[in-house]
Amino acid sequence: MPSSGADTPKPSALIPVSTAACLLVGSTTLFFVFTCPWLAVTVSPAVPPCCAILFLFVMANFTMATFMDAGVLPMANEDEDKDDDFRAPLYKNVDVKGVQVRMKWCASCHFYRPPRCSHCSVCDHCVEDFDHHCPWVNNCIGRRNYRYFFLFLLSLTVHMVGVFTFGLLYVLNHMEDLWKLHCTVTLVVISISGLFFIPVLGLTGFHLYLVSRGRTTNEQVTGKFQGGVNPFTRGCCSNLEYLICSPMSPNYTERACKKPAVRVQPPFLRPEIERQIPMKVRDNGIQSSDLQNKGSSAGSVDLSNIKRLNTPPPLPPKPDHALLKSQLAALDEMGHHTKSIIPASIPTVPQLRPVLEAISRGSSPIPPEQLLKTSELQGSNKSPDLKTDSKPSPGRAKQQDPLPVQPSFPTNPVSSPLQLNSLTLNSRSLTLKHNYRHSSKSQLPAMHSEALMSNPMFSPSNVLANRSSSLSYDNLISPADPQLMAQRGGPPVGYHPHFMTLGPDGSMVQRPPPHAYSPVFLGVTRHSPQPRDPSPSMQGLTPRDPSPSLQGFIQREPSPSFQGLMPRDLAPQGITLRDLAPPGLALRDITSQSLSARELGPQGLTPQKSAAVRYDNLSKTIMASIQERRELEERERLQRLHARSQALYGPDTGVYDIPSRRSLPPDNVRPRGPTPPAYGSREFLMSTGILGYGIRSSPLSSSSTSSLTRGPKTSSSPLHSSSSSSLQSKGRSSSPAYCLPDRQAQPLPSSASTLPRMPSSSTSSASSYTSYSTIKRSSLTSSSEGKDSVSLGVLK
Amino acid sequence: GAETFHNLQELRHSASLANKVFIQRDYSEGTTCKFQTKFPSELESRIERTLFEDTVKTLNNYYAEAEKIGGQSYLEGCLACATAYLIFLCMETRYEKVLKKIAKYIQEQNEKIYAPRGLLITDPIERGMRVVSFECHAAISPIHWSQKYKFKDV
């Protein structure tokens, strides 16, 4: 007898089941031995085999009902209920086919009981589709074994009818030697079967009624759907079909949890941020994300890192001039390659690509000193970068073993001097790039373009600056990893800079960007309009270069817009706007792709304009769009929060009294102890009107019971009403089955604590037997009464 | 130095579990097993909405297939009755078969999609089919970052 709540099956709990088993097996054996031979001869030789088969069916169902797990829901782990245990409401409403069903928090099992689930106090666990706890099989009847219980009842009824009929036939034909052994035995057998026939038939009829209405015993006795609509019924025939033919649901508690562990390596992909990062305009006119990451929680910050794009970086470590210089040297070493665009699809060595592209753009017009200064300025970006860098960049997840943390640069905010817009864009693209390293490329482009599009704050100069900063961090984080570099490079088309990327063999797998973006900086896979691989020109450089920005500047011709911004935003570097055409192209490219989605549009970003003019327009429009987006985002967040709170507490929170669970001290004290007065049982007790509303173990009960509006009087079931009336009139009712819960409640009026034990699970079969026993069989009555009290006492 | 790198490796491999997101059951169609496809906000930064929804929808389809009442379930029931349920000793039910498929699917999803993003899905069967849990793993902790990257100037 599965009783998972108890350590060992209590001996007293075994009495009903062993009695039932003995009676059943014993009587039938006697029947076969003493009566069947005559029947085989007289009536038909087919009688014994049919009876045998039927009896076998009865026993099989009895065994299944006894030993099969009813659908026990395992207790929730601590991690699941840490919020719910003390702060969540007792009830949670859920909508089932249009009907509001209340899910109750189970204090023992630490979860909200699914609809139709109830906690069995005898077995001390929650059972799915809980029907009742049957003492005759010493098991809960629930989802998994209800069909066997039902078939047991049916087959037992038929078997009893058969035994009774054939026995009677035998006795009637042997009236003359009524006291012979065979006859006597047959008499005993038919009297037993006749006595138990009525309760069993009653129970069978009751369950047939329940099945036709699609209810469980628990729901019937608690009157859940008495007045209302039962959302769980599928119609009479479908219910029967579901009962008999539905697939057997699995056992939840005995699962072999052996599965190969999936390694979760730190470098994590990050999805495109589709939400707008709220931007606030700082005093100095630089917009910064108001989700500033203070940098200490880089490892665990996910969203904040991503959102934190434009926070002015806290003072970063000083740029390493030596590193810059080494980077420069490395770049110079690469020589000057062709200026042609190197599409990402070209199977160049990944780490060379950015270098190639950078070099293809010609040497930077910016003198190294100025670049150094720029990098210093950008050094301020480093600290946020540092923080975000701690987040492993995506894309490395699977293969990277030696790779150090990918710079999750994309989220690195741009230095304050730089326009935050572009930084946002850059970081996003970086994120994308890393994220999609291993994910399907088809998704990537969409995501990236989405992300990019959603970022109106886009300016090439910022991109460049961002890249430079990120590049520095890239170098820092993954010093000499060419793969890393490669990943950062190769912006795919349009705005999927990060998508690309490294294929399993490390070769760049990217979508050819239509225009290479000025790549200079690592990690920024933003496609630049120029045929430059945005990826780290730094790849060829020694890693650990803290200020790749310098290199970026050196290596290529920054877009004019960028260049224009540089002097504007940073200290004048002496950078002159040059070659407006490519930046214009870049701008157009960028804007058309990313900004078209927004109202930002390419206003003021016509490629033909001068870079300076473009800047002004761009910044203004960008700022406007940023603010707008921020408002939208905040509104959206508020709505979401509101919706969430609504969902949790339900629209009719006011209807139900939802006491905080703190008001139930016993529950909290004993998380897994004996179930406190089973709310279900108390509820149905109250609803049947037996105990009135006096027995309340907690203030909660009043609310819970008040919600159970109906009492037994309103029950349409004749059984119910008779039971309730009998309950009120007599101590021990002799009315049929279902008054059992009520009846059993009565003998223990004083002990409210044990009352609840009387569960909803008190079986109707038990009730039927006991109730009939009171009238009909004194011996049985006493035994059953004894059993009742014993079982009542035994019930935890 | 070498020691910091060593620590880095260790730290990196023990990506910490930062958060767990639970996807609850969708009871709108009764007690059939179905999970909510609403995209939780906690995962917005970790995984794309479409990927998440695909996973949950596929799981829902698997469960619907397992719980379908049709020819195979009839056959299974009849066979079980005919053999006095002894068939359950040797044969696994259809539901169990689908559960195995689901376990394999979840494993594959974890390997391909979720682990690279620092997430892990747990099979809902382990929690009684009440929730699907997404474990969010943190990236490398900051300490390892600072250990590894020592700026020369600092």
- pLDDT greater at residue A74 or residue A478: A74
Tell me which residue of A411, A413, A425 sits closest to A314, measured CA to CA: A413
Rounded Cα gap, residues A546 and A475, in angstroms: 6
What is the 3-state secondary structure of A142-160?
CCCCHHHHHHHHHHHHHHH
**Residue A452 — pLDDT band, cuts 50, 70, 90?**
very low
Please tell me the predicted confidence (pLDDT) of residue B68: 87
Each residue's pLDDT tens digit, A641-672: 665 555 554 444 444 444 444 444 444 444 44
Please give the single-letter amino acid code of residue A167: G
Please tell me the predicted confidence (pLDDT) of residue A286: 52
Please tell me the predicted confidence (pLDDT) of residue A292: 42
CA-angle at A477, arms to A439 and A515, nearest 5°: 55
Best of B63, B140, B146, B150 to mutate (most A CBs within 10 Å, chain A): B140
| Highest mean pLDDT, choosing among A336-340, A611-615, A765-769, B115-119 | B115-119
Q: Is residue A144 predicted with pLDDT exceeding 60?
A: yes
Determine phi and psi for A555, rounding to 5 degrees: -75, -35
- pLDDT greater at residue B68 or residue A254: B68
Please tell me the predicted confidence (pLDDT) of residue A595: 40
**Residue B32 — pLDDT band, cuts 50, 70, 90?**
confident
Collect all residues of chain A within an 8 Å Cβ-Cβ radius of residue B122.
none
Please tell me the predicted confidence (pLDDT) of residue A41: 87
- pLDDT greater at residue A558 or residue A187: A187
Q: Is residue A398 predicted with pLDDT exceeding 70?
A: no
Rounded Cα gap, residues A521 and A528, in angstroms: 11
Rounded Cα gap, residues A392 and A84, in angstroms: 32
- pLDDT greater at residue A794 or residue A153: A153
Query: Strand B131-137's sheet: what is its strand order?
Result: B17-24, B131-137, B119-122
Burial class (CB in 10 A: 0-12, 13-18, 19+), A362: middle
A237 catalytic residue (yes or no)? no
Collect all residues of chain B within an 8 Å Cβ-Cβ radius of residue A83.
none
Rounded Cα gap, residues A575 and A554, in angstroms: 11
Please tell me the predicted confidence (pLDDT) of residue B140: 56
Which residue matches tokens 């504007």?
A568
Each residue's pLDDT tens digit, A99-143: 888 888 888 888 888 888 999 998 899 998 999 999 999 999 998
Instruction: Kindly report which listed range (A165-174, A212-221, A545-554, B64-73) carries the lowest average pLDDT score.
Output: A545-554
Q: Is residue A709 predicted with pLDDT exceeding 80?
A: no
Please tell me the predicted confidence (pLDDT) of residue A632: 75
Question: Of the candidates B12, B49, B117, which has its C-beta nearest A269's C-beta?
Answer: B117
Each residue's pLDDT tens digit, A341-396: 444 444 445 555 555 555 555 554 444 454 444 444 444 444 444 444 444 444 34
- pLDDT greater at residue A51 or residue B46: A51
Each residue's pLDDT tens digit, B104-125: 999 998 888 888 888 888 888 8
Collect all residues of chain B within an 8 Å Cβ-Cβ radius of residue A477.
145, 148-149
**Residue B149 — pLDDT band, cuts 50, 70, 90?**
low
Handedness of CA A106, A110, A116, A121 (dihedral sign): negative
The minimum CA-CA distance between A418 and chain B, rounded to whole Å, is 23
- Output the average pLDDT for chain A: 58
- Asked whether A554 and A371 are in contact (CB, 8 A), the reply is yes
Q: Is residue A523 predicted with pLDDT exceeding 90?
A: no
Rounded Cα gap, residues A568 and A697, in angstroms: 74
- pLDDT greater at residue A348 or residue A226: A226
Contact B116 A273 (CB under 8 A): no
Contact B69 A246 (CB under 8 A): yes
Tell me which residue of A417, A404, A419, A520 sits closest to A472, measured CA to CA: A520
Please tell me the predicted confidence (pLDDT) of residue A357: 54
**Residue A792 — pLDDT band, cuts 50, 70, 90?**
very low
**Residue A544 — pLDDT band, cuts 50, 70, 90?**
very low
Q: Is residue A71 predicted with pLDDT exceeding 70?
A: yes
Mean pLDDT of A241-259: 79
**Residue A148 — pLDDT band, cuts 50, 70, 90?**
very high
CA-angle at A234, arms to A233 and A240, nearest 5°: 95
ipTM of the complex, rounded to two decimals: 0.83
Each residue's pLDDT tens digit, B51-110: 899 999 999 999 998 888 888 888 888 888 889 899 888 888 888 899 999 999 999 988
Tell me which residue of A360, A183, A225, A244 sits closest to A687, measured CA to CA: A225
Catalytic residue, candidates A51, A126, A134, A183 = A134
Over its C-alpha atoms, chain A yields an Rg (Å, rounded) of 39
Each residue's pLDDT tens digit, A198-214: 999 999 999 999 999 88
- Asked whether A362 and A541 are in contact (CB, 8 A), the reply is no
**Helix or strand or coil: residue B115?**
helix
Distances (CA, A) of A69 to A3, A137, A147, A366: 9, 12, 12, 77
Tell me which residue of A437, A109, A325 sits closest to B112, measured CA to CA: A437
How many CB atoms are located within 10 Å of the residue A750 CB?
A: 8
Each residue's pLDDT tens digit, A261-319: 766 667 777 766 555 445 555 555 554 444 443 433 333 344 444 444 444 444 444 44
Nearest CA in chain B to A397: B116
Mean pLDDT of A724-736: 39
Best of B6, B47, B134, B145 to mutate (most A CBs within 10 Å, chain A): B145
Question: Of the candidates B25, B125, B151, which has its C-beta nearest A114's C-beta?
Answer: B25
Question: Of the candidates A94, A128, A252, which has its C-beta nearest B27's C-beta?
Answer: A94
Rounded to the nearest 10°, the torsion over CA B101, B106, B107, B113 is 140
Please tell me the predicted confidence (pLDDT) of residue A97: 87
Tell me which residue of A244, A246, A64 sits closest to B94, measured CA to CA: A246
Please tell me the predicted confidence (pLDDT) of residue A371: 45
Rounded Cα gap, residues B111 and A297, in angstroms: 27
Q: Is residue A711 predicted with pLDDT exceeding 60?
A: no
Collect all residues of chain B within an 8 Å Cβ-Cβ radius of residue A390.
139-142, 144-145
Contacts (Cβ under 8 Å, ≥6 apart) of A752? A677, A695, A696, A697
**Residue A27 — pLDDT band, cuts 50, 70, 90?**
very high
| Highest mean pLDDT, choosing among A224-228, A506-510, A542-546, B86-90 | B86-90
Distances (CA, A) of A257 to A512, B62, B126: 45, 20, 8
Collect all residues of chain B within an 8 Å Cβ-Cβ radius of residue A405.
12, 139-140, 144-145, 148
Q: Is residue A408 predicted with pLDDT exceeding 70?
A: no
Q: Is residue A60 predicted with pLDDT exceeding 90?
A: yes
What number of H helices and E strands is found in chain B?
6, 3
b/e sequence B60-89, b meaning 16+ C-beta within 10 Å: bebbeebbebeeebeebbeebeeebbeebe
Please tell me the predicted confidence (pLDDT) of residue A362: 53
Please tell me the predicted confidence (pLDDT) of residue A229: 84
Please tell me the predicted confidence (pLDDT) of residue A161: 92
Contact B130 A76 (CB under 8 A): yes
Please give the single-letter amino acid code of residue A318: K
**Residue A604 — pLDDT band, cuts 50, 70, 90?**
very low
